[in-house]
Amino acid sequence: MAHSRLYKKGKLAQSDFPFEDISKIKKSVNDFYWFDFVDPTETELAELGQELGLNKLALADALNGKQRPKLEHYDSHIFINAYAASFNPQTRELKNEEIAIFVTKNGLITVRDNNDFDMSAVTKNWDDGEELATAGVSFLLWGLLDVIVDSYFVAVEQLDAEIEDLEEMMFATKRTELNIQERSYDLRKALVVLRRIATPMREVITPLLRNDNKILNSSMFTYYQDIFDHVMRVSDWTESLRDLITTLLETNLTIQSNNMNLIMKKVTSWAAIIAVPTAITGFYGQNIPYPGFNQEWGFWFSSAAIVLMSGGLYWAFKRNDWL
């Protein structure tokens, strides 16, 4: 399954052209194209590499996947490995879709394992910025990287909102400890994944801003600088959220400790109150004569002592907020 676009003199001329046409298009000076491979076979990538002179190591990375975000320069092309991000609020899981990108002088080739990444957002970005299409393949690469980096913004905004909800849960009157701990762990895990795929993008965008780049058009450097600024903002935002979730975890432990101390204080107070009748009835249970022994007033005296002393302790503890 493959999608493609052909631009002639800065205008979209054809969509979904066959792979065999690349041999003709690559020779044209004014034409540039995009070709998208979804779950290609090793043979298909080998044919692509032979047709465009792509490096075998880059083709192996595109086929096998699981590479870190990176940019590699070769004589005839640039190879970029990047990840798009998407956060699911229901499962609190951050998914990432790997995209291998080959950039030649007049071609952009993307290789993906599946269709999870919404490529329609990229094509819409190209259509909306068609006035920039005169920049050639630099325009296509900008539209793709812009959508990828924007996915980080959407994900980090959702994670920020989730952490705010977690704060409200943590300081609520009725707390659900298990739910708080589970959400904290899920959000921390999502932030770790986002940091792993977003932060290295700084190393990917920086080389694209150099003036000695022979493949990209210098007229697009301002737009690449804008993408770089977005990457830096996402990276800083992610780091601040990681610090915040760590602080919330420590705060939660402190709240749990304080609640435990409060419970122990209440239990101790009730134990002190219960000790009063235990002590009095134990005293009057002695098998020896004592004041009020075998007398009716002795029962009433011990009962009154229990009520008065227990009530006095309860009032004292309540006044000091121990109960």
Residues 118 and 249 in one domain: yes
Predicted TM-score of the model (pTM): 0.79
31 neighbors 60 (Cβ within 8 angstroms): no
Residues of the domain holding 284: 262-319
Number of domains observed in the structure of the chain: 2
Are both 153 and 38 inside the same structural domain? yes
Report yes or no: 8 and 29 within 8 Å, Cβ to Cβ: no
Q: Which of 197, 196, 228 is nearest to 210 (CA)?
A: 228
Domain end position, chosen among 202, 227, 255 = 255
Assess whether 224 and 286 both reside in one domain. no
Residues 96 and 144 in one domain: yes
Of the residues 255, 278, 307, which one is the last residue of a structural domain?
255
Distance CA 109, CA 34 (A): 6
Q: Are residues 104 and 131 in the same domain?
A: yes
Question: How many Cβ atoms from other residues are within 10 Å of residue 123's Cβ?
Answer: 19
CATH code: domain of residue 246:
3.30.460.20
The answer to whether the beta carbons of residues 205 and 148 sit under 8 Å apart is no
Whether residue 57 is found in the same domain as residue 192: yes
Residue 241 CA to residue 195 CA, distance in Å, equals 10
Domain termination residue (choose one: 255, 285, 302)? 255
pLDDT in tens, the chain (323 residues): 568 899 988 888 888 888 888 888 887 878 899 999 998 889 989 998 998 899 999 999 998 888 899 999 988 899 999 999 999 988 889 999 999 999 998 899 999 988 888 899 999 999 998 899 989 999 999 999 999 999 999 999 999 999 998 888 888 777 777 788 888 889 999 999 999 999 999 999 998 888 667 788 888 889 999 999 999 999 999 999 989 888 888 887 787 777 777 778 777 777 777 777 777 666 666 665 666 666 777 767 777 777 887 788 777 767 766 66
155 contacts 97 by C-beta, under 8 angstroms: no
246 and 281 housed in the same domain: no
- Let me know whether 274 and 233 are in one domain: no
Do residues 275 and 236 both lie within one domain?
Answer: no
Q: What is the pLDDT of residue 286?
A: 60
Q: Is 39 helix (H, G, I), strand (E, B) or coil?
A: coil
Q: In Å, how far are 109, 152, 170, 187, 229 from 159, measured between CA atoms? A: 32, 10, 16, 7, 20
Query: Could you tell me if 174 and 205 lie in one domain?
Result: yes
> Quick one: 169 and 272 in the same domain?
no
